[in-house]
Amino acid sequence: MDHQLKHLTNRQFDRYCTLVYSECGIKLNEEKRALLNARIAKRLRSLNVSPDRYYDQVLQDPEEMARFIDAVSTNHTYFFRESNSFKYVQANRPEIWCAACSSGEEPYSLAAHCLDLGGSPSILATDISDTCLNKARLGIYADQCVKHIPAPILKTYFQKGLNGWTGTVRVRSRLRQLVTFKKFNLLKDRLPDETFDVIFCRNVMIYFDSATKEQVVARLVSVLKPNGYFIIGGAESLNGLKHELRYIEPSVYLKKGA
């Protein structure tokens, strides 16, 4: 039987929303029904299963769970996005965590920024999406993805694709070696052993409710050094949340010194 997904029923949609929330804290509302529909339709066709059977399979198979979370959590980003906050990254404070790095544009941008300052950063870049992390590790992007990169940085740290790679650029090894990519669930996974001078967690908490935001912020801030900066997306705010950070300017917070 060929399962063509027209739409999820209310019951199915609610079950999937609950699953997404419990696994990664993303709160899907009615406006996201079409998105969820589209994201899982491909797997339903590939496996030739119904939405209910697929739900059971996701619960039973860790690899399918990873594919499912991958599909519903992938976000759009670009190089040097909201780069005004990069001014809080200093050459002598090089330990950085990009806690929702998507396909790698943010950590590579930060690596280039730090090298231009004369620093040698150590950047941990994490995301929940295997697809995004694989792309990030490869470091190859379409030409249109690098249009926000300042020309001197593009020339210094990126290599233009030739022959079969025409229309792409690759991050040079001197940048790639500064970034360590790892899979990480902001809600559930064990925190890194090291502490950080700056933590970026941008444009992911817009999908969280207040309780989840508080939980994620508390976890991340616990590995932020005293007088370290916590930087969120321009469309995000910590207003109304309990936290130990001091507001500096929109999207930028400081952890008070010990």
What residues are labeled active site?
A: 39, 127
CB atoms within 10 A of CB 142: 10
Q: Are 50 and 1 in contact (CB under 8 A)?
A: no
Three-class SS of residue 2?
coil
Q: What share of the chain is helix, strand, coil (3-state, %, to 5)?
A: 45, 20, 35
Bridge partners (DSSP) of residue 245 are: 255
Phi, psi of 172 (to 5 degrees): -70, 155
Rounded CA-CA distance 116/14 in Å is 48
The CA radius of gyration of the chain, in Å to the nearest whole number, is 20
